[in-house]
């Protein structure tokens, strides 16, 4: 089977790799020439276990090629970004529309066209379907159109694409069946057949559910900071209840799912989706909340107007280099605007402006942990004591344990003690 995957990012590239790994001939399409050039050399631009090996094997066996333009295929899979529009928080389908238009001259009768990108309910039937119908195709007879969203965790993408259950939402039952046949090539989880609009809303609700639960824990952290209770102790004790599972609070929500997808539902019914919007507002407020308490710590322990702050981690997900929508950048921007000298250390993110551990902490008044990388769970405490101006840690990911007496540790549980 010939597969053409539009978009070679965090979803498109592993999807292409798995189809190629299972005997398909795959064309991976992206608009970035440098990405295409690197991929054809076997250089993978995202940090994710298993992808480099799979892509290099596919290249050697002639089953994968990356290019700027689509090619004829049996199945076209669209995995492009879908941001939200700032003016009304609705789903921005411009990249999806552009991708659909880019394949029009390559599409032929009998093809399967799948949109994996997360989209608002109704997007397939209202926006995508008409693009192909205007060309004279009958959906469900000439072309088979479906929405098949992914549900994967960075760091485990290759495994979860294979083993997770997959929603298959066709415009017609025939579309659903054809899309299921394609994913049956490598998916070992259940292929759950439904209609397109149900698939669209199901994906959005999966991420909205998680966003709301994170917002509950973040709101709890704010409340506890006001009333002098340790939020982490509250969560630990409450979670002893057999039917309670409160998540840990954090500096905000990142990624291209939780931080965006709830808006797609809200924009469809803004007068009704009040809980969804409030949860989003709560999670978006966390960078300012973290900034506020950084300033309180600095004011208490340092009399310098432009204190140096050592930032540990900018990726939104631990042990990955994925920085999409990371709240770390808003926090950093806030602190720079307040006049602080910022140094950044993230062993998973390549950036010429970032530094190593020693240079980042040297003469710093505060170590601010914004990512839960394994490297940060067991820090060299002796170096912190020796190199920092004030050996203080503000751990917004609640991962640091057992600090020596010489180091002051704040987290989202004990902020009332500042």
Q: Looking at 31-101, which runs of residues are DSSP E strands? A: 64-67, 75-78
C-beta separation of 120 from 200 below 8 A: yes
Q: What does each C-alpha distance from 377 to 219, 372, 404 come to in angstroms?
A: 25, 7, 14
- What is the spatial distance between Cα 83 and Cα 102, in angstroms, rounded to a whole number? 19
Q: Which residue has 């020439």 as its token pair?
A: 33
Cα–chain-centroid distance for residue 285?
18
Give Cα 116 to chain centroid, integer Å: 15
Mark whether 257 is an active-site residue.
yes
DSSP strand E in 270-349: where?
Answer: 308-312, 341-345
d(CA 54, CA 12): 13
Q: Is 92 helix (H, G, I), strand (E, B) or coil?
A: coil
Q: How far apart are CA 27 and CA 70, in angstroms?
A: 7
In contact, 318 and 312? CB cutoff 8 Å: no
Q: Are the C-beta atoms of residues 394 and 302 closer than 8 Å to each other? A: no
Nearest to 399 by CA among 416, 373, 377: 377
Q: Are 113 and 76 in contact (CB under 8 A)?
A: yes
Q: Answer for the pair 397, 371: CB distance below 8 angstroms, yes or no.
A: yes
Residue labelled with tokens 């250390």: 345
Catalytic residue among 204, 224, 257, 367: 257
Which residues share a beta bridge with 367?
310, 393
Active-site option among 91, 175, 178, 203? 203
Close Cβ partners of 24 (under 8 Å, ≥ 6 residues apart): 1, 2, 3, 63, 185
Three-state secondary-structure class, residue 174: helix
| β-bridge partners, 77 | 5, 114
Question: What gap in Å lies between CA 140 and CA 153, rounded to an integer?
Answer: 32
Active site includes 203? Answer: yes
Q: Looking at the annotation, which residues are catalytic?
A: 203, 257
């Amino acid at each position: 089977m010939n597969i053409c995957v539009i978009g070679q990012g965090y979803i498109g590239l592993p999807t292409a790799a798995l189809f190629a790994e299972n005997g398909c001939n795959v064309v991976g399409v992206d608009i970035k020439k440098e990405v295409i050039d690197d991929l054809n050399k076997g250089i993978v631009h995202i940090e994710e276990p298993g992808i480099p090996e799979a892509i290099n094997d596919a290249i050697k066996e002639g089953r994968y090629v990356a290019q700027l333009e689509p090619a004829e295929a049996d199945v076209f899979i669209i995995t492009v970004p879908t941001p939200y529009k700032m003016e009304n928080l609705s789903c921005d389908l411009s990249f999806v529309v552009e991708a659909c238009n880019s394949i029009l001259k390559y599409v032929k009768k009998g093809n399967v066209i799948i949109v994996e990108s997360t989209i608002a309910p109704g997007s397939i039937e209202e926006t995508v379907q008409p693009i192909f119908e205007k060309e004279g195709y009958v959906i469900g007879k000439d072309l088979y159109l479906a929405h098949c969203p992914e549900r994967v965790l960075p760091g485990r993408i290759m495994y979860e694409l294979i083993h997770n259950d997959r929603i298959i939402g066709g415009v017609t039952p025939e579309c659903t069946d054809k899309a299921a046949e394609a994913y049956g090539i490598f998916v070992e989880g259940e292929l759950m057949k439904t209609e397109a609009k149900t698939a669209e809303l199901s994906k959005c609700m999966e991420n909205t559910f998680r966003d709301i639960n994170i917002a509950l824990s973040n709101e709890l952290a704010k409340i506890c900071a006001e009333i002098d209770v340790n939020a982490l102790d509250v969560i630990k004790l409450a979670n002893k209840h057999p039917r309670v599972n409160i998540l840990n609070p954090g500096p905000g929500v990142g990624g291209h799912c939780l931080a965006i997808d709830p808006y797609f539902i809200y924009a469809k019914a803004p007068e009704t989706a009040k809980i969804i919007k409030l949860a989003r507002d709560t999670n978006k407020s966390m960078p300012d909340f973290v900034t506020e308490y950084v300033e309180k710590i600095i004011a208490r322990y340092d009399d310098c107007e432009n204190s140096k702050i050592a930032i540990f981690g900018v990726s939104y997900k631990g042990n990955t280099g994925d920085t999409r929508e990371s709240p770390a950048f808003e926090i950093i921007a806030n602190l720079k605007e307040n006049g602080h000298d910022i140094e950044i250390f993230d062993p998973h993110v390549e950036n010429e402006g970032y530094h190593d551990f020693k240079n980042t902490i040297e003469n710093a008044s505060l170590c601010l942990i914004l990512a839960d990388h394994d490297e940060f769970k067991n820090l060299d405490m002796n170096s912190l004591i020796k190199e920092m101006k004030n050996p203080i840690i503000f751990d917004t990911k609640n991962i640091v344990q057992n600090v020596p007496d010489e180091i002051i540790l704040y987290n989202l549980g004990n902020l009332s003690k500042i």
